[in-house]
Structure 1
Amino acid sequence: MSAPASLPELPVTFRPTRTRLVLLTVGVAVAVCLSATGLLLSRLSPGEKVSFVFTGLLFLSVLVLLSRPKVVADAEGVTVVNVASKRSLAWAEVVRVNLRPGDPWVLLDLSDGTSLAAMGIQPGIAKAQAINDARALRALVEQHGTGHGPKR
């Protein structure tokens, strides 16, 4: 990946916008349909009606959780928010940004020798956007990281 023409201004948030839009739209639609169905069926008991509404809200909450991933870059470093975790990293901790063909999301190689999935940049629905975001994050890491290119 080559560096983008200009670096984004910090702070910048990378997230799979189209995927998030699809997940939230489907979640709301299913929750509304299940709730309306449960409330409009006159043969259902009150407990059954509540179970329809509860199921719709449960489905929506799972999709909201799946739409949570993002990567936030600011002056101090990078914060990676995945489905069930959040981790803040100083710029010097991020050695490399990887997005290889077939990868489901960006992987960050860290200075301690481990890798961290950054699910906020994923090529699922919007491959070109994910590639541009990965390039921008890589350029930011090269600019702000220790010993990985020019620093300000």
Structure 2
Amino acid sequence: MSAATVEVRPRKVRRVAIPIAIVLVVVFALVGTLLRDTPTGAIFTVADQVAMGFLGLLLAGGVMLLTRPRLRADADGLEIRNIIGTQRVSWDLVQGVTFPDGAPWARVELPDDEYVPIMAVQATDGDHAVAAMRRLRELRRTIDA
């Protein structure tokens, strides 16, 4: 990564999501393993046990999607990867990079009152988010100069 590149990923959500995903896999695997016939008359098969483990993996995968956001900015523009999907925005379309009061994450202002959320720069990250916004704005100033 060169000096003219900014790369940002959220921090706090990663510290929370990864342990939660691990716990989900372990708990569902344990429940699947302990799933047996009950005195109530319910009959659980091996397929039910496997399904419980698979359900834990699916839920953990869903939680891990929260760790996916990333922002990469360089001289050509911004690459914004959110939970689902990635967008490339060139600097000539960018009217501003803002962090509105009370917003959970930053955003790129585009023409016609449109915007793209930057989920990689989250309010919960505090000083990390402030530093990321400063680096991003500094990069834009050097490109505009």
Q: TM-score, normalised by structure 2?
A: 0.84
| Residues 144 and 113 (structure 1), Cα distance of their counterparts in 2 relative to 1, 3 Å cut | farther
Is this contact kept in 2: 1:15–1:120, CA < 8 A?
yes
The match for 2:50 is 50
Partners of 1:134 and 1:11 lie apart in 2 by 13
The match for 1:132 is 131
Partners of 2:111 and 2:92 lie apart in 1 by 8
What is the CA-CA distance between 1:113 and the residue it aligns to? 4.5
Q: Could you give the per-residue CA deviations for residues 75-98 of structure 1, whole angstroms, max 9, x where no partner exists?
A: 322100111121111222222110
The match for 1:122 is 122
Match runs of 1:1-152 below 5 Å: 9-43=3-37, 44-111=44-111, 113-124=113-124, 126-145=125-144, 150=145
Aligned length: 138
Partners of 2:3 and 2:112 lie apart in 1 by 28
CA RMSD of aligned residues (A): 1.9
Q: Name the % identity.
A: 28
What is the CA-CA distance between 1:37 and the residue it aligns to? 2.3
Higher helix share: 2
Q: Could you give the per-residue CA deviations for residues 92-132 of structure 1, whole angstroms, max 9, x where no partner exists?
A: 222211013211110111245421111111112x2221121
**Residue type of the alignment partner of 1:13:** E
Instruction: Spell out structure 1 runs of 4+ moving beyond 4 A.
Output: none
Q: Which protein is bigger by CA-based radius of gyration?
A: 2
Q: TM-score, normalised by structure 1?
A: 0.80
Is this contact kept in 1: 2:6–2:136, CA < 8 A?
no
Partner SS for 1:119: strand
Partners of 1:59 and 1:73 lie apart in 2 by 31
Is this contact kept in 1: 2:95–2:109, CA < 8 A?
yes
Is this contact kept in 2: 1:93–1:112, CA < 8 A?
no
Partners of 1:112 and 1:141 lie apart in 2 by 20
**Residue type of the alignment partner of 1:123:** A
Structure 1 residues not aligned, in runs of 5+: 1-7
Higher strand share: 2
**Residue type of the alignment partner of 1:34:** F
